[in-house]
Structure 1
Amino acid sequence: MARSDINVNYVFPPSRFTLDEWHHNNQFRYQCSETQRELSDRLLAEATLACDSAKEIVKTNKEETDHRLLEKLNDIEFRKGELQRMRKDIALEIDALFVYKERIINVLKSVKRNALAICERCLIARKCRLSIDLVYDNVETNLLKECEVIQGAENLLDRILKNTYEQIRKLKATLYHIDHDLKNKEDNLHIDRRNVTLKETDFNLSIYHDTSSLDNSVVMLNEWELQTNINVIDANKEMNSAKQLRYYIDTIIKQTIDELNNQKNVTNEAFRQRCEQTREAKTKLELQHSEIIKQVATISSNITHIKKSIAEKEGYIALAHTRLGHRRQRPGIEHTQDLVQVNLVKEINELRNVVANLQRMLCEAEALLRYLLKTQIQLEEDINVKTNTLKIDEVECVTLRQSIDYRAY
């Protein structure tokens, strides 16, 4: 507001004034009074206007601040609700992963419990097979393959278990950031809720008298919004990763247990077929052995019979020789080659041929007997080999393998 400066020079009045001076003085006083009155009226009007304007500005500013505070509170409440919902989902996902971790551990225990050791013990036991039965057969192939399948399953489950631990760690880290953000949001809510309830007439209000800036904010609004958005995005990312991991674990556990059980069944079937083949071969050998024993008895009896027959023929030969000897003592002309003489010679020759034939047959029978006895011993050895193989495969290995138990927990 501009104000006019009035310069008044005071001089000592003369003892007497003129009428013009009197009129001039009255006019001057009137003008001064009018000027001061106008100035006072203008100042009063301006002050009233300023007060009314200030009141409106203050009211508008407070209403705007209250509105912004309520908007901010709603924004924080919304973001807090999103974080709380996300926190709940993450906590549930962590619990679910802990359950899956226990499943993997239990499956690993069922695999590591005895399966590999049993397969290795079966391989070692089968090295004790004898002779021709120490063969690289289908059972051997499947036992070695089963060892590979078991070791592969152990390695795969160990790797998945490590991935599960790592995913749980990431979820816990995400949960930590969300908890930190939630605490900040809660503190912010507490502060701004208190600010909303404050009035200009409240006690214990204070005026900032420091020389530094009133606004000490170091984080821009977009940065504040971005931080919560990043936490939510990271949480969703880890949640999706955890869900995919759980689905992968379900698939892998089923596939692994199915593959282990399939290979176990294939190996068991190989054992069954091999035992059946061995038992069938043993049965045939035993039947052959029984026949050989019978044949040995028959040949032995035949040899005895031949020997007895040869012994009997020796009596006839001796008789014929004795008769010929007696007839050599015939005198003179009586020493004729008559039919008796011819028949005796013929009898001796035929007896010699019969005995020679019996001797040949005796040699052949004795040779056959020796061969049959050798065959009998070989058959007995083969039967013992098959018995040993059956003991290893059917009694030791198959019994051991009955304790193999894979479970998809």
Structure 2
Amino acid sequence: MGEAQFGVRHVIGAPVAITRLSEQAIVCMPPRTAKFTLAEWKLSNDQRCRNTEDQQQLADRVLGESGRVRDETAERAEIMKATTDRRIEERIGDIEFNKNELQIQRKEICLELEALSMYKTRLLDCLASLQANALTICRKCLMLRDGRIGIDLVVDEVESALQQEITTILGGQSLLRRVLEQLNEQMRRLRSTRYLLDRDLQYKQAAIDLDKTNLSLKPTDLCLSVYEGYANLDPANISADEYNAYSAKNIQMAAREVTSARPIRMFVDTILKQVIDDLWNAYKKCNHAFHERIEDTKRAKAKLEDMHRETTQKISDMQNNILQLQKALADKEGHTALAHTRLGKRAQRVGAELVRDPPGQALYYECEMLRHSTEQLQQMLHEATSSLRYLLQTQIQLEEDINVKMNTLKIDEVDCMTLRETMDYHSY
């Protein structure tokens, strides 16, 4: 006992070694517990049994409640999932309905744009034809008619009709350009509306794809995650009424643009018909003026040609007349010489024979008459020569006038009318 207290350890087969107190291994022994009575032991066992029974009953209630809550929450989750799925399907149906309505309006807009594009092509063709064909031809006709010469270079009904036709063409071009501007503005509005519809359709298709993806998800999928952020999980700030109003507004706007675009086509048809009718009227009026002027020129030319033929005949007659007058003068010279010779010879009588007898008087009167006749013939020859000169000048003037009329007829009937035959006004 004493050895144990001082830490003396005995090892079999080894010498006893005594260590210092600081190197001894001190073992602390717990104090001896108090002993219980039998009554306490029975009480403890009974209490333990009651506690155990209470815990078992509590556990049974928790197990029953847990099963009920588990079944209830599972059923609620299924019901909520089914309700959500049904709402998503209904939402997909609503979006697809609005999408179909938008697609119908978009198709109407595309058809209207295609129709307006054809009308725009008609307007551009008409403008190009008026500029390159009609206006150029009218201006060229005016330029060609400036090539008339002499008295035919006159401001006549044809020139006034050409100026009026040019004014009509320019007015028609101005009117068609204004209509084209309105048409382009309407097409721009339709394209803008189509862009808005395309964007709305894109958003609706994306929403449909997202809801279909959500509808296909299952609770057992591995791609699911739980949101643990602080921001609101549902950032939607547009109510269903606002959404429906927005979709209805887009549909109504598209329908309104299509409705407002259709009267423009009728307006373009009316304007084209009016312009073409005005151009045809101006064209016919100008052609009528051309035909009247050509007929007047032809009549004037025919009259000048008749006068030229008559003048040529008169020149020929006058030339024959001059030859006959010259021949008559030559004949009178022989008679005059004969009469003068006879008088000269009778003047050689002598004495009482140099008497003023009837033969002498007759020769004297013959000489006077021959002189007077010669003077008359010379006067007539002078007048005939002057008349021939005037007739020749008139003939030259008539030929010049006929050439002027021929030049005018070539310009009006050949050049201008041939050009005007290429003018084509159709309904485009």
TM over 0.5: yes
How far is 1:80 from its partner?
1.6
Matched-pair contact (CA < 8 Å) for 1:293–1:376: yes
Q: Secondary structure at the match of 2:355?
A: coil
How far is 1:61 from its partner?
6.9
* In structure 2, C-alpha distance between the alignment counterparts of 1:62 and 1:105, rounded to whole Å: 62
Moved more, 301-310 or 283-292: 301-310
Q: 1:139-188, CA deviations, whole angstroms, 9 ceiling, x for partnerless residues?
A: 11122222223333333334434443333332222111111111222233
How far is 1:319 from its partner?
1.7
Please identify the structure whose Cα radius of gyration is greater. 2
Query: Does 2:195 correspond to 1:176?
Result: yes
Equivalent in 289, 293, 299 of residue 280 of structure 1: 299
Moved more, 233-242 or 187-196: 187-196
User: Residue in 2 aligned with 1:79?
Assistant: 98
Q: 1:267-305, CA deviations, whole angstroms, 9 ceiling, x for partnerless residues?
A: 223222222211221111011101000001111111211
User: Residue in 2 aligned with 1:316?
Assistant: 335
User: Residue in 2 aligned with 1:339?
Assistant: 358
Equivalent in 105, 115, 119 of residue 96 of structure 1: 115
* In structure 1, C-alpha distance between the alignment counterparts of 2:323 and 2:216, rounded to whole Å: 132
User: Residue in 1 aligned with 2:407?
Assistant: 388
Identity of aligned residues (%): 45
Query: Does 2:166 correspond to 1:137?
Result: no
Matched-pair contact (CA < 8 Å) for 1:110–1:407: no
User: Residue in 2 aligned with 1:271?
Assistant: 290
Q: 1:65-91, CA deviations, whole angstroms, 9 ceiling, x for partnerless residues?
A: 566545544432322221111011111
Bigger RCO of structures 1 and 2 (CA < 8 A, at least 6 apart): 1
* In structure 1, C-alpha distance between the alignment counterparts of 2:155 and 2:408, rounded to whole Å: 13
Q: 1:116-141, CA deviations, whole angstroms, 9 ceiling, x for partnerless residues?
A: 22222221121111110000111111
Root-mean-square deviation over aligned CA pairs: 3.4
How far is 1:63 from its partner?
7.4
Moved more, 74-83 or 175-184: 74-83
Q: Secondary structure at the match of 1:128?
A: coil
Unpaired stretches in structure 2, ≥5 consecutive residues? 1-61
| TM-score in terms of structure 1 length | 0.79
Equivalent in 126, 133, 146 of residue 107 of structure 1: 126
| Match runs of 1:192-271 below 5 Å | 192-193=211-212, 208-271=227-290
Query: Does 2:320 correspond to 1:301?
Result: yes
* In structure 1, C-alpha distance between the alignment counterparts of 2:365 and 2:129, rounded to whole Å: 92
Q: Secondary structure at the match of 1:113?
A: helix
Unpaired stretches in structure 1, ≥5 consecutive residues? 1-42
* In structure 2, C-alpha distance between the alignment counterparts of 1:72 and 1:272, rounded to whole Å: 77
Q: Which amino acid aligns with 1:118?
A: I
* In structure 2, C-alpha distance between the alignment counterparts of 1:107 and 1:345, rounded to whole Å: 97
Q: 1:199-224, CA deviations, whole angstroms, 9 ceiling, x for partnerless residues?
A: 88988766554443354222233321
| Match runs of 1:112-123 below 5 Å | 112-123=131-142
* In structure 1, C-alpha distance between the alignment counterparts of 2:392 and 2:203, rounded to whole Å: 100
How far is 1:256 from its partner?
2.4
Q: How many residues align?
A: 373
* In structure 1, C-alpha distance between the alignment counterparts of 2:306 and 2:117, rounded to whole Å: 63
User: Residue in 2 aligned with 1:374?
Assistant: 393
| TM-score in terms of structure 2 length | 0.76
Tell me which stretches of 4 or more aligned residues in structure 1 moved more than 4 Å: 46-71, 193-209
User: Residue in 2 aligned with 1:365?
Assistant: 384
Q: Which amino acid aligns with 2:179?
A: I
Q: Which amino acid aligns with 1:242?
A: A
* In structure 2, C-alpha distance between the alignment counterparts of 1:329 and 1:172, rounded to whole Å: 131
